[in-house]
Amino acid sequence: MKKYLTIAFLFVAAQLVAQSFSEKIVRDFTFEKKSADNALMIANINGNISVQGYEGDKIMVEVTKTINAKTQARLEKGKTDIQLGVIDLADSLILYVSGECGNFTKQTSRNGHHNRRYWGYSWNNGCQDCHQEYSYKMDFTVKIPNGVNLTVSTVNDGDVQVENVNGVVIANNVNGSIRMKNLVRGTEASTINGDVDIEYAKNPPQDCRFYTLNGDINAWFQKGLAADLSFESFNGSFYTNIDKLESMPVTVEKKESNKGMKYKVNDNRFKVGAGGALLDFETFNGNVYLKEKTN
């Protein structure tokens, strides 16, 4: 009996090995049209994104693709379907997951507005009614010239990490964290079910926005911060080591929507130092920790 069990175990183990596949995709890119407006977008669905700025002029991309399936036939289908997609716009570059239940193309919504998160691009069916026969991950590790503007987004089973980028950074995640370090310019970071951790090498001169639904926001700035602050939370508190915060008058924001004019009253606004760029913090279930570095 033990002999039969051993043979059966080995057979199952062999089947499991055959149902998993992993490979590394390595690509290098350069901008055909170089300028201060050069930008990179990474649109991921399942997996991590790690981006690091450096002094070179190439975008160096390494993607680890992992496919899992219950049969060899389904595994082979996943290997064929899921690919690294590239859209080269001369001065901008888009990296995305090709084969994710639809084509990643330029889209316009019914009200004529583009999807800002993806520069107006999206999967043409919104990944709805997707019944894949396999599971997959695409883990991006990318090095970029440190002056490039960056937009990154992932959805499932992944975190976002950005470091040493001098351009504007926009980062979005769902079911994961966002960690960014040594930034110097305007930033947007938004996640659901994760923390947002941001550290600035220089205090940003542009407006910044930070949001998390279920998590904390930890933001470190250089000493001598001069900015306007806005804080909003359903079930969270604001903490800071900055001694003096000056309350600002209540403001009313007016925005036009397809349902008419929308008004928003902002009463949690403060000024640090002489004031300056707006730092907008919002959580639903989580705290905000804003700190000036002491050394």
State the DSSP code for 117: G
Check: CB of residue 176 under 8 Å from CB of residue 191.
yes
Q: How far apart are CA 224 and CA 274, in angstroms?
A: 10
The full DSSP string for 174-202 is ESS-EEEEEE-S-EEEEEESS-EEEEESS
Q: Which of 268, 157, 281, 167 is nearest to 218 (CA)?
A: 281
pLDDT at position 111 is: 47
| Opening angle at CA 114, ends 110 and 117, nearest 5 | 130
| Tokens encoding 21 | 């596949």
For residue 249, the SS3 value is coil
pLDDT tens digits, 1-46: 444 444 444 444 445 555 899 999 999 999 999 999 999 999 999 9
Check: CB of residue 151 under 8 Å from CB of residue 39.
yes
pLDDT at position 2 is: 47
pLDDT at position 130 is: 63
254 exposed, middle or buried (CB, 10 Å; 0-12, 13-18, 19+)?
Answer: exposed
pLDDT at position 283 is: 96
Burial per residue of 197-221, b for 16 or more beta-carbon CB atoms within 10 angstroms, e otherwise: bbbbeebbeebbbbbbbebbbbbeb
State the DSSP code for 118: G
Check: CB of residue 151 under 8 Å from CB of residue 170.
yes
| Opening angle at CA 62, ends 60 and 66, nearest 5 | 165
Q: How far apart are CA 170 and CA 253, in angstroms?
A: 23
| Opening angle at CA 41, ends 46 and 214, nearest 5 | 50
- Integer CA distances (angstroms), 180 to 117, 247, 282, in order: 18, 29, 17
pLDDT at position 245 is: 83
Domain boundaries, the chain: 20-176, 178-295
Using 70 as the pLDDT threshold, list the residues of the chain that sit under it: 1-18, 100-102, 108-117, 124-131, 248-255, 257-267
pLDDT at position 110 is: 52
